[in-house]
A and B are shown apart, each in its own frame.
Chain A
Amino acid sequence: MKRDALIAVAVFALVALAPLTGESYWLRLGTTMLMYGVLAMSWNFIGGMAGYPSFAVAAFFGLGAYTGAVAQKLGVAMGSAWSLSGLAALAFAALLGVALLRLRGHYFAIASLVVAEVLRETVNSATDLTGGGMGLNLPIPAMRSVEAQAVFFFYAMLGLAALTFAASLLTRYSKLGFGLRCIQQNESAADMLGVNTTLYKVAAFMLSGVFVGIAGAVYASWVHYIEPPDVFDVLYSVKAIVMALLGGVGSVFGPLLGAVVFLGLEELVWRKFLEVHTGVLGLLIVLLVMFLPKGLLSLSRRLPWARRLP
């Protein structure tokens, strides 16, 4: 655990230097990577650790975005609005978890997939509060320049990613993480050994919701304008899963690495194959998952110098 924490501190410190490049392109890409890192790490709590294939990331993201936006529209300060989004996602995950986590496997996946749709329709119809299909404008933070704003949101996402990572690490090396591993491998056996499976699963689901909710709110403030199809996009769920699987769900670093590699590939492929980039990207992912089912991090275990590491 200490080794993981030290590596993480080094990585996050290095990433924190990115704004020094002064390139707004890299800053934007970095902010996006960190945001997706938060989504992938969050999915890992329920999908990786507990083994429940959740598609609820988009629901938490949209809920967070709209909670933050509406709160700011009603006059709440930006920082408080973000916290409020986290709390809303946390509470929503608790309620949703108690209901949905009774389902297993495909049934849970489908049920969690529908949640984002329901929220999207709800937000669409609550026109007075959310602006409905017209979307919602957010106040632009009072800062000197556009560049200063970009730097500010980069650090906001970095802080959130660090927080999510810390939560992952603490969970992984705790009784909660251990119990989740038991559930992932054999839920009825875990039940028999005295694991309060419902409580543990709901806790994992809440952890998978809270940081995504905040990320949604930060995103909303960052882009100044949100509309339902944008923030309740099912691709947030799908990408988070693909990233986590790509990096490897077994480790705390996997999802973060997956987010960076996925977005890197996306940028690269998009530039080289302008016409067919989604197809090429899809193919690449299929190949990676086929030949590296345990994710990119499993590669490190094949290197000779890595054998000695636990």
Chain B
Amino acid sequence: MSGPLLELAGVTRRFGGLRAVADVTLSVPEGEVIGLIGPNGAGKTTLVNAIAGVHTATSGTVRFAGEDITRLAPWKVARRGIARTFQIVQPFPEMTVLENVAAAAMFAGARAYGREAKTEAREHLRFVGLADIADRPAASLTLAMRKRLELAKALAMRPRLLLLDEVNAGLNASEVDAALALIRGIAARGVTVLIIEHLMKVVLSLCSRIVVLHHGVLIAQGDPQAIIRDSRVVQAYLGRRYAAGAEGEHG
């Protein structure tokens, strides 16, 4: 039996005098869908960046599938099977939707240049529902479509671990529902998902475990229902009114 897929041990990231992430220890077994919540500026994105190699951890280690990836460059991390989406979507604007996804398939997904990468890209576009607009320039897409494009790109990287940074921010209710269904579909393929999210509805319906960051410190983790009743979490993030509502609904 192998260990967890992702293992953070004492991960700290400093920016000058600021400790954006402080001594976070966390282990994520393969196949889990785990939610990362916390107030703005809690260090959620920084933690994801430390995993993805964008901002290397100042101290502590990040292990993925048993190997130390703490100091690997982002492109190497990507090729090992960690895909991430950005809070602010980052398509290649002058390329078509198809080319955007083909790029992911080609570089991180190790597919051959040309037909093989494009065939693979089309599959992922069908999955996220963008197959009809595959030949449009990425810059012409609406926000909801760009978020789907980000998902398709991430999938084309054939990840074992998917880091979703607020994929639902800026979407309306029906778009959020569609995105939820997509993320469920991805998890059902066996991809481990770590999702940063502000919408508690999304977190509660998707995740089997929630991790809470506050001022860069991991203040609580565990079963979603227990987390929303945790007094530290209520105080730091959810607020009393939410907790009272949750009591009424669930308790």
Query: Do A and B assemble together?
Result: yes
14 A-B pairs (CB sep. < 8 Å):
A181-B92, A182-B92, A182-B95, A185-B95, A188-B74, A189-B86, A189-B92, A190-B103, A191-B78, A192-B52, A192-B75, A192-B84, A193-B78, A194-B104
- In the complex, what distance in Å separates the CA atom of A197 from the CA atom of B75? 8
Q: Kindly list chain B residues whose C-beta atoms are within 8 Å of the C-beta of A178.
A: 99, 103, 106, 113
The A-contacting residues of B in range 81-130, CB under 8 angstroms, are 84, 86, 90-95, 99, 103-104, 106-109, 113
Residues of A within 8 A of B73 (CB): 191
Complex Cα distance, B109 from A179, in Å, reads: 14
A185 and B113 in contact, given A193-B108, A194-B79 (Cβ under 8 angstroms): no
A175 on interface, CB distance cutoff 8 Å: yes
- Proximity string of chain A (11-40) to chain B, C-beta cutoff 8 Å, 1 when within and 0 when not: 000000000000000000000000000000
In-complex Cβ contact of A195 among B94, B107, B113 (8 A): B107
Q: For the complex, is B134 an interface residue (Cβ under 8 Å from A)?
A: no
Render A32-73 as a binary contact track against B, CB cut-off 8 A, 1 for contact: 000000000000000000000000000000000000000000
CB proximity of A243 to chain B, nearest CB, Å = 22
The residue on A at minimum CB distance from B84 is A192
Instruction: Let me know if A122 is at the binding interface, CB within 8 A.
Output: no
Task: Report how many residues on chain A are interfacial, defined by Cβ distance under 8 Å.
Answer: 18
Chain B: which residue is nearest A176 at the CB level? B113
Q: How far is the CB of B139 from chain A (nearest CB, A)?
A: 10
Q: A residues within 8 Å of B by Cβ?
A: 174-175, 178-179, 181-182, 185-186, 188-197
Question: Across the two chains, which residue of chain B brings its CB closest to A194?
Answer: B108
Closest to B153 in A: A193
B74: chain A residues at CB < 8 Å are 188, 191-192
Contacts of B113 in A (CB 8 A): 174-175, 178
Tell me if A194 and B92 are in contact (CB < 8 A).
no
CA distance A141 to B77 in the complex (A): 55
**Known A182-B107, A191-B73, A194-B109; further 14 A-B contacts with Cβ < 8 A:** A178-B99, A178-B103, A185-B92, A185-B95, A186-B90, A188-B74, A189-B90, A189-B92, A191-B74, A191-B75, A192-B75, A192-B78, A194-B78, A194-B108
**B21 in contact (CB, < 8 A):** no
With an 8 A cutoff between CB atoms, is B157 at the interface?
yes
Known: A179-B107, A193-B103, A193-B157. A188 touches B79 (CB 8 A): no
Given the interface pairs A185-B92, A186-B90, A193-B157, the reply to whether A175 lies near B75 with Cβ below 8 Å is no
Q: How far is the CB of B168 from chain A (nearest CB, A)?
A: 20
Q: With a CB–CB cut-off of 8 A, which chain A residues contact B78? A: 191-194
Chain B residue numbers with a CB within 8 Å of A182 are 92, 95, 103, 107
Known: A175-B106, A178-B103, A178-B113. Contact between A195 and B75, CB under 8 A?
yes
Q: Are B92 and A188 in contact (CB under 8 A)?
A: no
The 3 A-B pairs of least Cβ separation, nearest first, read A194-B108, A194-B107, A194-B78
- Kindly provide the distance from the CB of B50 to the nearest chain A CB, expressed in whole angstroms: 14
Contact assessment for A185 and B94 in the assembled complex, using a CB-CB cutoff below 8 Å: yes
